[in-house]
Copies of this chain bind each other. A is one copy, B any other.
Amino acid sequence: MTRGLPVLFLGVDGGGSGCRVALARADGTVLARAERGPANVTSDFDGALANLRAAIHEALSAAGLDESALAACRAHAGLAGVVTRSDADRVRAALPPARWTVTDDRPTALAGALGGQDGALICVGTGSFLISRRGAALRTIGGWGFQLSDQGSGAWLGRALLEETLLAHDGLAAFTDLTRAVLIDFGGAPDRIVAFAGQAGPQDYARLARKLTEAAAAGDDTGRAIMARGASYLTRALAALDLAGNAPLCLSGGLGPSYAPYLSPPLAARLRAPAGTALDGALLLAGQDGAP
């Protein structure tokens, strides 16, 4: 414990869409929150740091404090784009002085979802990854990006849907309402699907995923088969995480909950709603990390 000054916790959650900061007392009472623009340190280091500093300053001001209060802060930042230890060191050196720990944004998401408990977070949005805690050990699976990984993700689902549509067009699979609708969306012309794929990035493919999850929920055979393939990957990944048999599981991200009906009953029984956000997780890790 820091002598003389009351200990404060500072949590920071940052990614491509914005950064969020919360300042709390050691008892958990949140004193102030602030939010600013994107903070992906790989795509724009200086811009990310400027947004982070502004958000931290705003949270301190809102709590009636100035930057000198940071001396009494234990702080954790979970930031998209922190891949290596040297990324973390570089960020730490550029942040206002405090007792920082810096990680990528997956440990904070996990800590927020499970409140620091053992278990796993299955995050499925445009991309996908799994992260687990077992005691002190964190383990991450997937998240290597759209070209070779991110199975089950929105981008993966959208691409699989176009692939199945071409297979149906070629006569290798029966058309279902879903693949018929996709082909119509492309003017009935497979070469327009091919032209789309020549330009498409993960976000473009992921925009097709909602149509797939809705069709699957309504019973479309192709939709259900693709979802089942995604769920099969997530199930293999959960097995590889080698958790205790009753460890809780959270499905997060825009598409995570869509997989609940595709998990086996024993896995489904372990699902619980995320307890909190990645910002909550950052506050929690601020209290746990780097204690003297």
Residues of A within 8 A of B (CB): 83, 141-142, 144-145, 147-149, 159, 162-163, 166, 170-172, 190-191, 193-194, 197-198, 200, 233, 236-237, 240
Contacts and interface: CB of A to CB of B under 8 A. Distances in A.
22 contacts: A141-B171, A141-B172, A142-B170, A144-B190, A144-B191, A144-B193, A144-B194, A145-B194, A145-B197, A145-B198, A147-B200, A148-B159, A148-B162, A148-B163, A148-B166, A148-B197, A149-B163, A170-B237, A170-B240, A172-B236, A172-B237, A172-B240
Q: List the 8 closest pairs (A to B, CB-CB), nearest first.
A: A147-B197, A171-B240, A141-B170, A148-B163, A148-B197, A172-B240, A172-B236, A144-B194
A191 B147 CA distance: 12
B83 A191 contact: yes
A198 B194 CA distance: 19
A60 B148 CA distance: 50
B159 A147 contact: yes
A175 to B, nearest CB: 13
A272 to B, nearest CB: 24
A200 B145 CA distance: 13
A148 B159 CA distance: 7
A142 B166 CA distance: 8
Nearest to A160: B148
A188 B265 CA distance: 38
Most chain B CB within a 10 A radius of its CB, from A149, A159, A197, A200: A149
A134 to B, nearest CB: 13
